[in-house]
């Protein structure tokens, strides 16, 4: 089977599910992964005969896309902040909105300071790894409740040549960060992108998220939507330095409630920040 025939097969089989440009992007990524072809080379090589082993990979990927499995899980990797991250069913796929959160932090802090920075609920490790890559003098820490996610995060730190100290912790059962990281008296920055999607919002979500991404990293009960934020705010109150900063990625519908929560725990200069789609997506407060 020739490459051009596979390309047409993808378009015909997937056009009812995805926009044409998205199908083209999927096909380009798969060609690079399976054939080491860059997008500009694909059009030149449409008559290339695909060997049986590669053909099986393309067919398997097509079958997965037809049941709306995310392309990142098919490839086993995703890009975030100019780096490549391993992903699997135990981790969320890093998203552009979270890149914006990292950018906000990096703009706020000095690159020359020896900062202590903690990410709570790290998943793939994308937040602390991106920070460590851009703040080589910082001491970066991260924790997660999932041992499987931490395996991926540690491999991502190694592959991106950064040092992050990881720990397996259930934040809902944690009362003192100094027990986990005794070498740190206080943190300069604490950041978290915790579960924040209410069950009532599931109807707004696509199948590729609902069916494949880990529920425990996404969803919270409708009647306790700020559970993780409250726990983390309490911990930050006693584990941040004076003038230390707390950053959150948040539910776009709960900006007002988040401002009230930050005020409740005596954080000052609280700011809501919109993402690239114009939604309230990020929060910052100072101790």
Provide the pLDDT for residue 223.
Answer: 82
Task: Identify whether residues 10 and 114 lie together within a single domain.
Answer: no
Q: Based on the domain organization, do 100 and 28 belong to the same domain?
A: no
- Tell me whether residue 75 is in a domain: no
Residue 203 has pLDDT above 90, yes or no: no
Per-residue pLDDT, 198: 84
178 shares its domain with 251: yes
DSSP 175: S
- Do 93 and 200 lie in a common domain? yes
If one compares 219 and 185, the residue with the highest pLDDT of the two is: 185
- Tell me the angle at which helices 227-239 and 255-264 cross, rounded to the nearest 10 degrees: 30
Per-residue model confidence (pLDDT) at position 99: 97
Strand ranges inside the chain, DSSP E: 77-80, 83-86, 116-120, 139-144, 165-168, 187-192, 197-198, 219-220, 240-249, 268-274, 280-286
Q: Tell me, yes or no, whether 168 and 37 share the same domain.
A: no
Judgement on whether residues 124 and 50 belong to the same structural domain of the protein: no
pLDDT in tens, 133-153: 999 999 999 999 999 999 999
Which range marks the domain in which residue 22 is found?
3-67
User: Reading across the β-sheet that carries 139-144, which strands appear in turn?
Assistant: 165-168, 139-144, 116-120, 187-192, 240-249, 280-286, 268-274
Q: Is residue 159 part of a domain?
A: yes
State the CATH number of the domain containing residue 217: 3.40.50.150
Q: pLDDT band for position 211 (50/70/90)?
A: confident
Whether pLDDT at 47 is above 90: yes
73 in a structural domain: no
Q: How many Cα atoms are found within 13 Å in the side-chain-facing hemisphere of 179? A: 8
* Number of folded domains that form the chain: 2
Question: CB–CB of 147/199 below 8 Å?
Answer: no
Residues 53 and 102 in one domain: no
Q: What is the rounded average pLDDT of the residues 69-88?
A: 96
Q: Are residues 58 and 149 in the same domain?
A: no
- Domain presence at residue 82: no
Distant-in-sequence, close-in-space partners of 35: CB < 8 Å, separation ≥ 6: 3, 48, 50, 54
Name the average pLDDT for the chain. 94
Is residue 79 in a domain?
no
Instruction: For residue range 229-247, list pLDDT tens digits in order.
Output: 999 999 999 999 999 999 9
């Amino acid at each position: 089977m020739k490459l051009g025939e596979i390309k047409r097969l993808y378009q015909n089989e997937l056009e009812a599910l995805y926009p044409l440009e998205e199908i083209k992007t999927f096909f380009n990524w798969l060609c690079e992964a399976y054939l080491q072809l860059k997008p500009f080379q694909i059009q030149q090589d449409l008559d290339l005969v695909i060997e049986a082993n590669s053909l099986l990979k393309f067919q398997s990927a097509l079958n997965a896309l037809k049941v709306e499995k995310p392309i990142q899980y098919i490839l086993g990797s995703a890009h975030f902040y100019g780096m490549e991250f391993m992903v699997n069913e135990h981790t969320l796929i890093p998203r552009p909105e979270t890149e914006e959160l990292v950018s906000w932090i990096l703009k706020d802090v000095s690159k020359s300071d020896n900062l202590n920075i903690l990410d709570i609920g790290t998943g793939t490790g994308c937040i602390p790894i991106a920070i460590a890559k851009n703040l080589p003098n910082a001491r970066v820490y991260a924790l997660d409740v999932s041992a499987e996610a931490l395996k991926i995060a540690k491999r991502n730190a190694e592959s991106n040549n950064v040092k992050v100290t990881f720990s397996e912790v259930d934040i809902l059962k944690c009362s003192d960060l100094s027990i986990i990281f005794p070498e740190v008296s206080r943190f300069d920055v604490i950041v978290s992108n915790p579960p924040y999607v209410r069950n009532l919002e599931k109807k707004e979500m696509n199948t590729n998220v609902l069916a494949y991404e880990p529920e425990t990293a996404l969803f919270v009960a409708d009647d306790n939507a700020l559970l993780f934020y409250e726990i983390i705010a309490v911990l930050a109150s006693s584990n941040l330095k004076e003038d230390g900063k707390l950053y959150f990625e948040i539910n776009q519908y709960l900006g007002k409630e988040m401002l009230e929560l930050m005020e409740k725990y005596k954080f000052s200069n609280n700011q809501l920040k919109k993402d690239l789609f114009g939604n309230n997506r990020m929060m910052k407060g100072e101790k």
